[in-house]
Amino acid sequence: MSSPPPILNIVLFLPFLVAVVILCMRRLLKGASVILSVASSITCFICSLMLLGTVERVYPMMDFIHIDGVFDAGILAIVDKQSAGMLFIVTFIGMLVHLFSLGYMKDDEAQPRYFGALSLFMFSMTGIVLAANLFMMFIFWELVGLSSFLLIGHWFHKSSAAEAANKAFLTNRIGDFGFMIGILMLFGVSGSVSFEDLKSSLESGNLHAIAAAHPTFMTIAALGLFMGAVGKSAQMPLHVWLPDAMEGPTPVSALIHAATMVAAGVYMLVRVSFIIAASPLACDIVAGVGGVTALMAALMATQQNDIKRVLAYSTLSQLGYMVMAVGLVAMNPTHAGNADSIGHPGMFHLYTHAFFKALLFLGSGAVIYACHHEQDIWKMGGLRKYMPVTFWTFAIGTAALMGVPGLSGFVSKEGILDVAYGECKWLFTIGVVTAGLTAFYMTRLVVVAFLGKARSEGAKHASEVPLIMLVPLAALAIMSIISAVPSVANGLNALKPVVEHGHEGHTVMIFSLIALVVGAGGGFLLYRNRDSDPVSIKLFANKFYIDEFYAGLIKYGQDRVAWVVNALERIFADGLVARLPAAIVSKMGSQLRVLQCGRLQAYTFLLGAGVLFVIYILVFVLPAPGH
Amino acid sequence: MPSFIFYLFALVTLGFGLLVVTARNPVTSALSLASSFVGLAALFISLDAYFIGIIQILVYAGAVMVLFLFIIMLMDIKAEEGKKTNNGALVGGCLLAVLLVLQVIMVSGAFHGERTVAELDTTAAIGKAAGTELPTIANDLREGSLPDTKLMGYALFDRYGFHLQVVGLLLLVGTVGVVMLSKRDTAAKEAGN
Amino acid sequence: MVTLGHYLVVSGALFALGLAGVIARRNILIIYMCLEMMLSAANLTLVAFSRFHLVDHLPDYGAQALVFFTITVAAAEVAVGLAIIVALFRSRQSVDVDSITKLQG
């Protein structure tokens, strides 16, 4: 056990300190809090750069709960390729979002609160990334939930934002419940929550015996953990909160709801992939849920008109891709066994996706900012002329997302499709169709919003955003291009998978290129020079009516349960426990009211009688103490 | 001490006490109470508590009763006399009083005949009493008289010095309280005007 | 001969008189006087016990010190109590306790 290097302490606790200082003293600090927050994010970025390529080991940060021989869950920081790479992403995008927010949130009155919550998020996210045991991960898991809640509801005076914050929080509760069950099941059997102990226990300890004797147990535990990821990474059927979360400020959407927090689910799944791999059924379910989410989210994205919602569904779809990859990799024991050495395609897609999705969100933020908070793409148009830098960076992000060869998205998507082709043909089909749909709706977005002619006054008067917002766009665009280049990827310790370019590799590449061309070409031809949407599919536009289904479920299911509970509550809690004693006391009170006649003489009489009675009892009835 | 003196003053105390309770005129009540206290003071003195006896006369029969009389005169409460008494309360009060006396008699019967007020053996007290620390107390005792006030002072200022100061503070607080109670009324009146 | 019991009976009788007065009388000033009487009756008990409980052949002056404190506190109480009675009289123009029935339930 050695003390952690100071940079680890800085990268974890500095944002926390800043958040506490800002949130406690925001009236005092005013503008200084913004500077404080941005400075801390830059410092963290530098520290995480220094962490890249350091020795892989686990550092104890501080004690948390320690019961000898029973339970030990400290704040331990695990530093390896996965966490160092993820930390780089988090701090890099976090820093750029902080900078972008300087411009985007310039006129917001509650700026200090915004930056305080942002710092709190940075702290929580760093905690998840560094977590070396499930217990610590769960704590920070909840903390990101909290900061996400705070940031979605930043404009809480708008009822839609407040409701979206609640929805996100409540939906995540369901997932977290499963997560907790999974953690407790694993802890109950192995007696430890740390990843190292769980791994060794699964190889030769209690967990190994249980897994052999009761495969269902491992399946349920793995699915419990997966449920946490379903909530946080917004997979089907808990995906409903993510599109609504777009009510938050756009930089927040870029940081939390595109690049980092929603990826935490995938990150966690990769960390515990050895547990998922122990149950073949769980692998199938994980991969299946990911695939279904990818496809359905892509379908929904094709009919959205809100620029941020298109991107939100696209995020859902890409997260589905990653989850699918986790399940697929876990299916194959040879992959799962040495996932550390050859890299994980899901994790790699997470890295590349973080860059270009953050880029797209920040780009959309710039567009929204320029069009005076107009989010409907049909009221934009022709923005290419007014905002050239934004357009070109947005186009790069779009190309990367579609998987245009040469850009990072192509490489990482190829990795996933490659695994899918090897493991499961129908998921491969879904992957290819999704890729085609992705190309289609992204083309639609760019064509409608940036090309053609301006369709509203706001769009006509749009102008390029200030430099402070362009710098992050440019930085992210560069990263979107080069993050898959082997030298950069290795330098970042990104877990680039080795794609075996055999005859399969060619098949995969051919399929994905076909999907790209069909999707992008179809989108371009269909939407060029259109003023309104030529295609109208109600089912997709209304998101498969899932929200309505949930509302109905709650209305008809929960209301019935609530009725029964209410009846029970009225009979027992309200009736027997509360009303009955109250009635007795009230009855007695009204009877005894006679005594409170308000006449001094009566009171003194009662007092004197009482005293005499006590004397009588003490002196004449009870035995004298001495005898 | 001859017994008849005790009976005399006991009678004075209780007789005037009865008059306090029964008199219809408050002034009569107040004067009877003062007389009752004088009798009580005599009983104190018969118990060799000279200091307490004098204090009883000075403070109670003197200061406190004068205060009562002031208030009675100030408020001019003659008009209350005509009202008839509350019979229920009268019966209740007498009942409780009789019960209490019965209880007291039964309890004090246990002490009956055990001890009498014997002459204090002052010479035996020399050397053992706390007074030996102070020469004057010892001298008084040697002369055969009981230095009651000196012993009292010794008890108050030596053993209960702190308590004495607390009581002094209480008096101060009481004074301030009285001022507040009287003043608030005038302030309210001024506010009313 | 006069014994401790005699004093206790006198004290008890005085206390009972006071109690009867407090309950039976309606004039708040007389009630107050009766209270003082009860207090004095208690003092008599204390002094009697002090005299009959000899410490080193002398009366127990601890008890008499308590009597002294009781008298002091009673004096303070009388001052405050009378001030309250005066205030009450000012607001109600009466010293009859039957006129004070605000506590009626």
Q: What is the pLDDT of residues A51-108, one digit of tens each?
A: 776 777 777 777 777 777 777 777 888 887 778 888 888 888 888 888 888 888 777 7
Give the confidence band of A365 by pLDDT, cuts at 50, 70, 90.
Answer: confident
Q: By C-alpha distance, which of C3, C52, C10 is closest to B112?
A: C3
Nearest-by-Cβ selection for A598 from C23, C31, C102? C102
Within this chain, do residues B122 and B176 fall inside the same structural domain, yes or no? Answer: no
Which residues of chain C make contact with B167, given a CB cutoff of 8 A? Answer: 69, 72-73
Task: Give the domain range for residue B65.
Answer: 1-79
pLDDT of A338 reads 47
Quote the mean pLDDT of chain A. 81
Contact B103 A601 (CB under 8 A): no
Whole-structure pTM value: 0.62
List, in order, residues 6 or more apart from C40 with CB less than 8 Å away: B37, B40, B56, B60, C14
Instruction: Give how far the C-alpha of residue A626 lies from the chain's centroid of Cα atoms, to the nearest Å.
Output: 76
Quote the mean pLDDT of chain B. 81
Taking only the tens place, the pLDDT of each residue in A570-598 is 888 888 888 888 999 999 988 888 777 77
Question: A602: nearest CA in chain B?
Answer: B89
Within this chain, do residues B140 and B176 fall inside the same structural domain, yes or no? Answer: no
| Average pLDDT of span B102-125 | 70
Within this chain, do residues B128 and B181 fall inside the same structural domain, yes or no? Answer: no
In a domain, B10, yes or no: yes
Within this chain, do residues B66 and B3 fall inside the same structural domain, yes or no? Answer: yes
Which residues of chain A make contact with B106, given a CB cutoff of 8 A? Answer: 620
Other CB atoms within a 10 A radius of the CB of residue B163 amount to 14
Q: Are B113 and C3 in contact (CB under 8 A)?
A: yes
CB pairs under 8 A between B and C: 264
The better pLDDT of the pair B60, B2 is held by B60
Q: What is the CATH number of domain C4-101?
A: 1.10.287.3510
Within this chain, do residues B141 and B181 fall inside the same structural domain, yes or no? Answer: no
Q: How far is it, in rounded angstroms, from Cα B105 to Cα B112?
A: 10
In a domain, B16, yes or no: yes
Other CB atoms within a 10 A radius of the CB of residue B188 amount to 12
Q: How far is it, in rounded angstroms, from Cα A100 to Cα A471?
A: 8
Which residues of chain A make contact with B93, given a CB cutoff of 8 A? Answer: 601, 605
Q: By C-alpha distance, which of A293, A287, A288 is closest to A236?
A: A293
Q: How far is it, in rounded angstroms, from Cα A191 to Cα A184?
A: 9
Give the confidence band of B114 by pLDDT, cuts at 50, 70, 90.
Answer: low
pLDDT of A336 reads 46
pLDDT of A1 reads 45
Question: C19: nearest CA in chain A?
Answer: A608
| Average pLDDT of span A330-337 | 62
Contact C58 B90 (CB under 8 A): no
CB-based contact, B186 to chain C, within 8 Å: no
In a domain, B98, yes or no: no
Nearest-by-Cβ selection for C23 from A597, A598, A605? A605
| Average pLDDT of span B169-179 | 91
Q: By C-alpha distance, which of A123, A119, A115, A169 is closest to A146?
A: A169
Say yes or no to pLDDT of B36 above 90.
yes
Tell me the percentage of chain A whose pLDDT exceeds 90: 2
Nearest-by-Cβ selection for B111 from C1, C5, C82? C5
* Least confident piece of the model among A217-226, A309-318, B81-90: B81-90
Q: Which of C31, C32, C47 to mutate to test the interface with B (most CBs of B within 10 A)?
A: C47
Q: Are B151 and B136 in contact (CB under 8 A)?
A: no
Contact A605 B99 (CB under 8 A): no
Contact A612 B99 (CB under 8 A): yes
In the DSSP assignment, the letter for residue B62 is I
In a domain, B103, yes or no: no
Taking only the tens place, the pLDDT of each residue in A508-554 is 778 888 888 888 888 777 777 777 767 777 776 677 777 777 778 77
Extract the tokens encoding C27: 């004039």
Extract the tokens encoding A497: 């998978």
Nearest-by-Cβ selection for B80 from C20, C27, C43? C27
| Average pLDDT of span A233-249 | 82
Tell me the percentage of chain A whose pLDDT exceeds 70: 92
Q: How far is it, in rounded angstroms, from Cα B163 to Cα B165?
A: 5
Q: Are A362 and A446 in contact (CB under 8 A)?
A: no
- Please report the residues numbered 70 through 99 in chain B whose beta carbons come closer than 8 angstroms to any beta carbon of chain C: 71-72, 74-75, 77, 80, 83, 85-86, 89-90, 92-94, 96-98
CB-based contact, C97 to chain A, within 8 Å: yes
* Least confident piece of the model among A567-581, B82-96, B111-125, C58-72: B111-125
Q: Are A112 and A25 in contact (CB under 8 A)?
A: no
Within this chain, do residues B12 and B55 fall inside the same structural domain, yes or no? Answer: yes
Taking only the tens place, the pLDDT of each residue in A261-285 is 888 888 888 888 888 888 888 888 8
Give the confidence band of C2 by pLDDT, cuts at 50, 70, 90.
Answer: confident
Say yes or no to pLDDT of B182 above 90.
no
Place of tokens 């009955």: A580
The better pLDDT of the pair A500, A194 is held by A194
Say yes or no to pLDDT of A501 above 50.
no
Taking only the tens place, the pLDDT of each residue in B10-30 is 999 999 999 998 888 888 899
Nearest-by-Cβ selection for A615 from B86, B89, B103? B103
Q: Total structural domains in chain B?
A: 3
- Please report the residues numbered 120 through 139 in chain B whose beta carbons come closer than 8 angstroms to any beta carbon of chain C: 120-122, 124-125, 128-131
Within this chain, do residues B141 and B166 fall inside the same structural domain, yes or no? Answer: no
- Chain C neighbours, 3+ Cβ pairs < 8 A: A, B
CB-based contact, C101 to chain B, within 8 Å: no
Taking only the tens place, the pLDDT of each residue in A323-332 is 888 888 887 7
Nearest-by-Cβ selection for A600 from C19, C100, C105? C100
Nearest-by-Cβ selection for C104 from A597, A605, A608? A597
Within this chain, do residues B134 and B171 fall inside the same structural domain, yes or no? Answer: no
Q: Which of C25, C27, C103 to mutate to test the interface with A (most CBs of A within 10 A)?
A: C103
List the CATH number of the domain containing B72.
1.20.120.1200
Within this chain, do residues B26 and B61 fall inside the same structural domain, yes or no? Answer: yes
Taking only the tens place, the pLDDT of each residue in A377-426 is 777 777 777 788 888 888 888 888 888 877 777 878 877 887 787 777 78
Give the confidence band of A337 by pLDDT, cuts at 50, 70, 90.
Answer: very low
In a domain, B24, yes or no: yes
Give the confidence band of A339 by pLDDT, cuts at 50, 70, 90.
Answer: very low
Q: Which of A594, A600, A612 to mutate to test the interface with B (most CBs of B within 10 A)?
A: A612
Q: What is the largest CA-CA distance in chain B?
A: 72
Extract the tokens encoding B143: 């002369």
Q: To the nearest whole angstrom, how far is the Cα of B134 from the nearest Cα of chain C?
A: 15
Domain ranges of chain C: 4-101
Q: How many residues does chain C have?
A: 105
Instruction: Give how far the C-alpha of residue B174 lies from the chain's centroid of Cα atoms, to the nearest Å.
Output: 19
Taking only the tens place, the pLDDT of each residue in C37-94 is 999 999 999 999 888 888 777 888 889 999 999 999 998 999 999 988 888 888 877 7
Q: To the nearest whole angstrom, how far is the Cα of C98 from the nearest Cα of chain A?
A: 6
Residue A489, Cβ density class (10 Å: 0-12 exposed, 13-18 middle, ≥19 buried)? buried
In a domain, B165, yes or no: yes
The better pLDDT of the pair A171, B41 is held by B41
In a domain, B122, yes or no: yes
Using beta carbons and an 8 Å cutoff, which residues of A are at the interface with B? 601-602, 605, 608-609, 612, 615-616, 619-620
In a domain, B29, yes or no: yes
Q: Are A90 and A126 in contact (CB under 8 A)?
A: yes
Using beta carbons and an 8 Å cutoff, which residues of A are at the interface with C? 593, 595-601, 604-605, 608
- Please report the residues numbered 16 through 75 in chain C whose beta carbons come closer than 8 angstroms to any beta carbon of chain B: 16-27, 29-30, 32-34, 36-37, 40, 43-44, 47-48, 50-52, 54, 56-59, 61-62, 64-65, 67-69, 71-75
Nearest-by-Cβ selection for C103 from A596, A601, A608? A596
Q: Are C82 and B71 in contact (CB under 8 A)?
A: yes
Say yes or no to pLDDT of A502 above 60.
no
Q: How many residues does chain A have?
A: 627
Q: How would you classify residue B126: left for phi > 0, otherwise alpha for psi between -120 and 50, otherwise beta?
A: beta
Interface pTM (ipTM) of the complex?
Answer: 0.90
